């Protein structure tokens, strides 16, 4: 009987999951058993499985030590006056509660300040590496507009001539950087639909295959619509293009019958499926960057995702820049520079006064030859002047971040200038280009940043199987669109939907290097960063709190939620995290 199968599958202990330890925890975990939990680097010291399932990492071997710390903490807390305890809780910054041992240590040392402070890691010895670029296309830097020694306004005497020079350079830029002349080291033939006929669930153990779903629409038509979308994607997966074509037409009708988020999402996915079926080239994503920028601004206005990204990244940067007199931010995601006024403001009013602030903005070339990076720099310079922050700016145009070399960035010795590297929704674009991300990460390492802030979509849209990518992204964007429904109807909102729609189209209709929306999860990025020589720079409860408060203030406490995860912050719609801000530093070995 089917029900018996679900109901009882053996004796209680073994039925319950791989995580059950069949004996009490006082016995050491057998070293022969290879568990399927996240491994510690030291294979012999396994985390207690039962606590791991509940979100706490405690090595079995240190359980007694942790218990002792809990007792000590309780005693110390008992000695604090009642008011003092909640004040202490508010004033203390907490990090990474999953690591119970370190959390307890920090609490103990906070309550007992006489203990030794944690010493900073020794200065890393610098030697600037100038590795040769693997790529033929070189980055052509824009004019360095603001000299460090000058005042922070534009040097007006040279502006007209420099503009001319910039225009000439831009012309040259365009011809060099058009896709026709781009030489890639690997060309993959774009595959529209694969012939893989595996079932929907992947069996790779590499990345966790968690499918977080929020059902926001249980209506009959909504279900049929999702059904049709999935069936169409499956038909494409199996190369049944005739069936796929029939389904995509049906989807069009069903979509119209829907209301709200589901209609919009379905429409975008249907269009993308149609493009894939008919092998229509997608809208010129690569070139229309000015349109992308505009759309992103609307997205910025309509919903909190970008604001959260900027805010949380800035907090991490601010913290890393503490005490530094000269700072340099390298922004991989310059766009309209929306992130930087707030950081500059915070630096302006910080204790000890503002540092000298240098900004290097990197972005793709504009379709209309305008040097938009220059314009953005000018605006920021004006702002800097108004708030009395010494400012220097340089814009770099590059088709891909992988075209950058550290030597172009005019780095200064790290003793004199602290560097932060920032990337918001850019890194995933490198994953379609062999060696791309590795190159960029190696450049970041050469830069020797005090902090490397990364914001990415929290979803795996880069799996090898088309149907899986389709399913993941359908749920991801359904949730995202649902969150937008609460916003008042406006031009901003419509444009935000177009912004997201372009991502959907790229993700579903494109393949090979054209498919740039290759989102991956925090655990995937974490693995990549970890094996590239980065360690997490934990984001704490203070940032969490401020981000939550800003959310509540701006969005009236709707369904947005901030979550802490392994020292990173995620912003989600209800229970589904949608974007993650993480911060990284060079690990001790590097």
Partner 1 sequence: MAGSDEVNLIESKTVVPLNTWVLISNFKLAYNLLRRPDGTFNRHLAEFLDRKVPANANPVDGVFSFDVIIDRQTNLLSRVYRPAYATPPSVIDLQNPVDGEIVPVIVFFHGGSFAHSSANSAIYDTLCRRLVGLCGCVVISVNYRRAPENRYPCAYDDGWAALNWVNSSSWLKSKKDSKVHIFLAGDSSGGNIVHHVAVRAVESGIDVLGNILLNPMFGGTERTESEKRLDGKYFVTVRDRDWYWKAFLPEGEDREHPACSPFGPRSKSLEGLNFPKSLVVVAGLDLIQDWQLKYAEGLKKACQEVKLLYLEQATIGFYLLPNNNHFHNVMDEIAAFVNAECQ
Binding to partner 1 (CB under 8 A) within 519-558 occurs at 541, 544-545, 548-549, 558
User: Which 564-583 residues touch partner 1, going by CB under 8 A?
Assistant: 564, 574-577
Buried-exposed string 407-423: b where 16+ CB fall within 10 A, e elsewhere? ebbebeebeebbbbbbb
Closest to partner 1 by CB, 84 vs 323, is 84
Phi-psi region for residue 312, left (φ > 0), alpha (ψ -120 to 50) or beta?
A: alpha
Stretch that binds partner 1, among 114-122, 208-216, 326-334, 406-414 (CB under 8 A): 208-216
CA dihedral angle for residue 498, residue 501, residue 506, residue 509, rounded to 10 degrees: -130
Residues 440 and 335: beta-carbon distance below 8 Å? no
Residue 85 is a binding residue for partner 1 (CB under 8 A): yes
User: Which 327-366 residues touch partner 1, going by CB under 8 A?
Assistant: none
- CA 99 to chain centroid: 22
Burial of 427 (0-12, 13-18, 19+ CB in 10 A): buried
Closest to partner 1 by CB, 53 vs 140, is 53
Stretch that binds partner 1, among 22-30, 180-188, 288-296, 423-431 (CB under 8 A): 22-30
Residue 124 is a binding residue for partner 1 (CB under 8 A): no
**CB-based contacts of 151, cutoff 8 Å, min separation 6:** none
Tokens in use for 536? Answer: 């997490």
Residue from 226, 356, 444, 579 binding partner 1 (CB under 8 A): 226
Residue 18 is a binding residue for partner 1 (CB under 8 A): yes
Residue from 171, 227, 388, 590 binding partner 1 (CB under 8 A): 227
Least gap, CB of 497 to partner 1 (angstroms) = 19
Measured distance CA(509)–CA(275) in Å, rounded: 6
Residue from 37, 137, 182, 200 binding partner 1 (CB under 8 A): 200
If we measure between CA atoms, which residue out of 402, 454, 452 comes closest to residue 432?
Answer: 402
Closest to partner 1 by CB, 12 vs 488, is 12
Residue 196 is a binding residue for partner 1 (CB under 8 A): no
Stretch that binds partner 1, among 24-32, 117-125, 261-269, 299-307 (CB under 8 A): 24-32
Least gap, CB of 88 to partner 1 (angstroms) = 7
If we measure between CA atoms, which residue out of 349, 340, 334, 252 comes closest to residue 296?
Answer: 334
Measured distance CA(452)–CA(141) in Å, rounded: 22
Closest to partner 1 by CB, 120 vs 488, is 488
User: Which 86-105 residues touch partner 1, going by CB under 8 A?
Assistant: 86, 88-90, 94, 97-98, 100
Least gap, CB of 473 to partner 1 (angstroms) = 12
Least gap, CB of 51 to partner 1 (angstroms) = 6
Residue from 475, 515, 519, 585 binding partner 1 (CB under 8 A): 475
Residue 27 is a binding residue for partner 1 (CB under 8 A): no
Closest to partner 1 by CB, 26 vs 189, is 26
Residue from 171, 211, 325, 379 binding partner 1 (CB under 8 A): 211
If we measure between CA atoms, which residue out of 72, 77, 102 comes closest to residue 87?
Answer: 77
Residues 532 and 441: beta-carbon distance below 8 Å? yes
Q: How many residues bind partner 1 (CB under 8 A)?
A: 83
User: Which 38-77 residues touch partner 1, going by CB under 8 A?
Assistant: 48, 50-51, 53-56, 58, 63-64, 66-67, 70-71, 73-75, 77
Residue from 15, 38, 172, 590 binding partner 1 (CB under 8 A): 15
Neighbours of 538 (CB within 10 A): 20
User: Which 131-170 residues touch partner 1, going by CB under 8 A?
Assistant: none
Closest to partner 1 by CB, 184 vs 202, is 202
Sequential DSSP letters for 264-297: HHHHHHHHHHHHHHTTPPPP-TTT-HHHHHHHHH
Neighbours of 196 (CB within 10 A): 12
Residue 252 is a binding residue for partner 1 (CB under 8 A): no
Measured distance CA(94)–CA(25) in Å, rounded: 28
Residue 243 is a binding residue for partner 1 (CB under 8 A): no
Closest to partner 1 by CB, 99 vs 134, is 99
Tokens in use for 318? Answer: 């601010």
Residue 439 is a binding residue for partner 1 (CB under 8 A): no
Closest to partner 1 by CB, 296 vs 471, is 471
Measured distance CA(560)–CA(576) in Å, rounded: 9
Residues pairing with 41 in the sheet: none
Residue from 43, 78, 117, 413 binding partner 1 (CB under 8 A): 78
Closest to partner 1 by CB, 76 vs 246, is 76
Closest to partner 1 by CB, 513 vs 540, is 540
Which pairs with CB-CB distance under 8 Å and at least 24 residues apart come from 27-32? 28/60, 28/61, 29/60
Q: What is the 3-state secondary structure (H, E, C) of 325-393?
A: CEEEEEECCCCCCCCHHHHHHHHHCCCCCCCEEEEEEEECCCCCCCCHHHHHHHHHHHHHHHCCCCEEE
Neighbours of 459 (CB within 10 A): 25
- Site of tokens 């004040």: 87
Closest to partner 1 by CB, 78 vs 113, is 78
Measured distance CA(183)–CA(274) in Å, rounded: 30
Closest to partner 1 by CB, 58 vs 419, is 58
Residue 471 is a binding residue for partner 1 (CB under 8 A): yes
Residue 199 is a binding residue for partner 1 (CB under 8 A): yes
Closest to partner 1 by CB, 67 vs 153, is 67
Residue 210 is a binding residue for partner 1 (CB under 8 A): yes
The gap between the terminal CA atoms of the chain, to the nearest Å, is 59
Stretch that binds partner 1, among 83-91, 121-129, 164-172, 282-290 (CB under 8 A): 83-91
Residue 407 is a binding residue for partner 1 (CB under 8 A): no
Closest to partner 1 by CB, 6 vs 157, is 6
Residue 388 is a binding residue for partner 1 (CB under 8 A): no
Residue 204 is a binding residue for partner 1 (CB under 8 A): no
């Amino acid at each position: 009987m089917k029900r018996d199968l679900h109901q009882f599958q053996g004796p209680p202990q073994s039925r319950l999951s791989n995580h059950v330890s069949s004996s009490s925890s006082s016995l050491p975990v057998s070293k022969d058993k290879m568990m399927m939990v996240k491994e510690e680097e030291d294979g012999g010291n396994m985390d207690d499985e039962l606590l791991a399932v509940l979100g706490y990492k405690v090595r079995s071997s240190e359980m007694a030590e942790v218990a002792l710390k809990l007792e000590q903490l309780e005693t110390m807390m008992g000695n604090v006056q009642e008011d003092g305890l909640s004040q202490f809780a508010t004033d203390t910054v907490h990090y990474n509660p999953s690591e119970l041992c370190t959390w307890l240590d920090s609490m103990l040392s906070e309550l007992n300040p006489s203990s030794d402070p944690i010493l900073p890691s020794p200065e890393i010895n610098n030697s600037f590496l100038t590795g040769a670029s693997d790529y033929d296309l070189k980055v052509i830097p824009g004019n360095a507009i603001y000299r460090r020694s000058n005042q922070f306004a534009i040097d007006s005497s040279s502006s007209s001539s420099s503009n001319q020079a910039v225009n000439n350079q831009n012309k040259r830029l365009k011809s060099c950087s058009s896709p026709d002349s781009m030489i890639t080291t690997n060309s993959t033939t774009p595959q529209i639909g694969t012939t893989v006929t595996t079932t929907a669930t992947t069996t790779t153990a590499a990345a966790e295959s968690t499918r977080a779903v929020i059902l926001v629409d249980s209506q009959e038509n909504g279900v049929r619509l999702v059904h049709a979308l999935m069936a169409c994607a499956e038909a494409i997966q199996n190369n049944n293009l005739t069936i796929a074509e029939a389904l995509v037409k049906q989807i069009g009708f069903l979509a119209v019958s829907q209301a709200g988020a589901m209609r919009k999402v379905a429409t975008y996915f249907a269009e993308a499926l149609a493009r894939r079926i008919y092998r229509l080239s997608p809208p010129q994503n690569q070139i229309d960057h000015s349109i992308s920028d505009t759309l992103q601004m609307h997205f910025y206005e309509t919903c909190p995702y970008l604001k959260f990204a900027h805010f949380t990244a800035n907090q991490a940067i601010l913290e890393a820049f503490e005490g530094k007199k000269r700072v340099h931010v390298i922004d991989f995601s310059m766009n309209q520079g929306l992130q930087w006024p707030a950081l500059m403001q915070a630096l302006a009013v910080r204790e000890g006064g503002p540092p000298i602030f240098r900004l290097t903005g990197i972005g793709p070339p504009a379709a209309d030859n305008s040097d938009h990076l220059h314009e953005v720099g000018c605006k920021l310079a004006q702002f800097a002047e108004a708030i009395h922050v010494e400012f220097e700016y340089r814009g770099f145009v590059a088709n891909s971040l992988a075209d950058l070399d550290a030597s172009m960035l005019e780095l200064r010795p790290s003793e004199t200038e602290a560097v932060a590297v920032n990337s918001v929704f850019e890194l995933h674009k490198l994953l379609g280009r062999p060696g791309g991300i590795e190159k960029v990460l190696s450049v970041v390492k050469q830069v020797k940043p005090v902090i490397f802030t990364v914001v990415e979509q929290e979803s795996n849209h880069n799996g090898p199987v088309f149907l899986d990518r389709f399913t993941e992204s359908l749920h991801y964007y359904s949730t995202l669109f649902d969150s937008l429904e609460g916003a008042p109807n406006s031009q901003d909102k419509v444009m935000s939907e177009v912004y997201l729609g372009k991502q959907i189209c790229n993700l579903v209709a494109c393949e090979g290097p054209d498919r740039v929306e290759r989102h991956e999860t925090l655990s995937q990025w974490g693995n990549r960063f970890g094996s590239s020589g980065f360690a997490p720079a934990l984001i704490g409860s203070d940032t969490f709190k401020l981000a939550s408060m800003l959310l509540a203030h701006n969005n009236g406490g709707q369904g947005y939620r901030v979550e802490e995860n392994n020292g990173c912050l995620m912003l989600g719609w209800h229970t589904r995290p949608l974007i993650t801000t993480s911060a990284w530093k060079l690990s001790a070995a590097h």
